[in-house]
Amino acid sequence: MQTTMVNEMIPLAQPGPMTDAERFMFECFGYIIIEDVLSQDEVEETLEATKRLHEGHPKERLLQLGKGFETEPAIERLIDHPAVLPKVRALYGDRFVLQAAWCTVQPAGSQSVGWHQDGSSAYDFKQLAYPVPLVQLRASYNLTDQSELFMGNMMMIPGSHRSPVGLPNELRKEINVSPIQHIIQCKPGTVLLFHNGVWHSPMPNNRDFDRYNMHFIYSPPWLRRSDRFETDPAFLERTTPLRRALMGDYERPDTPFAGGFPAIPFEDNGH
């Protein structure tokens, strides 16, 4: 190879509010990476919770289980994590909901390579507009070591959320699809925040331990939730006002002039 580049182009961001430079990176790449969001103790506690959720479920291929926050406090705490939520708010403004929370395992010695953009196969988000709008913003918490290749790492194609053409069909089950792809190598406790339009895939997990990621997907309030029809009333009753609002269980979400959408009680909103 004759061409070289001086840096590895990792879109690193700091925990907390989105800086202008981070916003620029997000808009260019479609994703940013926030390191050290969870301490080792928090990673362990969350990992235990995710393993409990998957108990009794088959461990053959990638499996995603929703709404674990209803029963697992360690998962619930991540819904409005201060390292991440301000960035979600920077991208959406003050009205958004948790559309889904997927607790995802890529079992030891398994692979589910499949490059895709997030969205709905029933009505593809690409049909809405070009470039595909931000309607599912995913905060993906890595709970197991993914610092080397073939640990179930997320693979991403930076900037692909702006591509008017899709990744060719014949490449979608391949690991290496483009010289511009990135493979995220990161420690547990790192968060990847990405736009639904970015082409991505899990890398195979060739290790002898299961890979767990906890994905939180934030959306505009009118997008139908995908991990639940409604939130458990007992959870709504006992959780915090902010988390309750983020569940989006509005009584009449479709009243005119946004009347059905009560303001989300962010701390700095005077609530």
Ligand X SMILES: O=C(O)CCC(=O)C(=O)O
Q: How far apart are CA 123 and CA 145, in angstroms?
A: 35
Of the candidates 224, 211, 235, 181, the one whose C-alpha atom is nearest the C-alpha of residue 61 is 211
Does residue 104 bind ligand X (CB under 6 A)?
yes
Q: Which is nearer to ligand X, 74 or 143 (CB)?
A: 143
Indicate the residue whose CB is closest to ligand X: 202
Quick check: 31 and 24 in contact, CB under 8 A? no
Using the minimum distance from each CB to ligand X, give the nearer residue, 213 or 231: 213
Q: How far is the CB of 25 from ligand X (least distance, A)?
A: 21
Residue appearing with tokens 């997320």: 154
Tokens of 258: 């946004």
Binding mask of the shown chain, residues 193 to 232, with x at each position contacting ligand X by CB under 6 A: -------x-x----------x-------------------
Binding letters toward ligand X, positions 63-82, x by CB under 6 A: -x------------------
Which residue from 121, 104, 117 is spatially nearest to 30, judged by alpha carbons? 117
User: Which sign, positive or negative, has the C-alpha torsion 18, 19, 24, 25?
Assistant: negative
Supply φ then ψ for residue 96, to 5 degrees: -155, 165
What number of H helices and E strands is found in the chain? 6, 10
* Minimum CB–partner distance for residue 191 and ligand X (Å): 13
Q: What angle do CA 247, 252, 256 make, to 5 degrees?
A: 120
**CA atoms of 86 and 78, how far apart (whole Å):** 13
Closest CA to 223 of 198, 195, 248, 251: 248
* Nearest distance from C-beta of residue 62 to ligand X, angstroms: 6
Q: Which of residues 138-167 bind ligand X (CB under 6 A)?
A: 154
Q: CB nearer to ligand X: give 85 or 154.
A: 154
Among 106, 142, 144, 219, binds ligand X (CB under 6 A): 106
Interacting residue with ligand X among 118, 177, 214, 219 (CB under 6 A): 118
SS3 54: helix
Each residue 164-193 as x (binds ligand X by CB under 6 A) or -, in order, gives ------------------------------
Q: How far is the CB of 168 from ligand X (least distance, A)?
A: 19
Task: Choose between 188 and 264: whose C-beta lies nearer to ligand X.
Answer: 188
Residues 1-40 that bind ligand X (CB under 6 A): none
Q: Which is nearer to ligand X, 112 or 163 (CB)?
A: 112
Rounded CA Rg of the chain:
18
Chain residues that interact with ligand X, rule: CB under 6 A: 64, 104, 106, 118, 154, 200, 202, 213
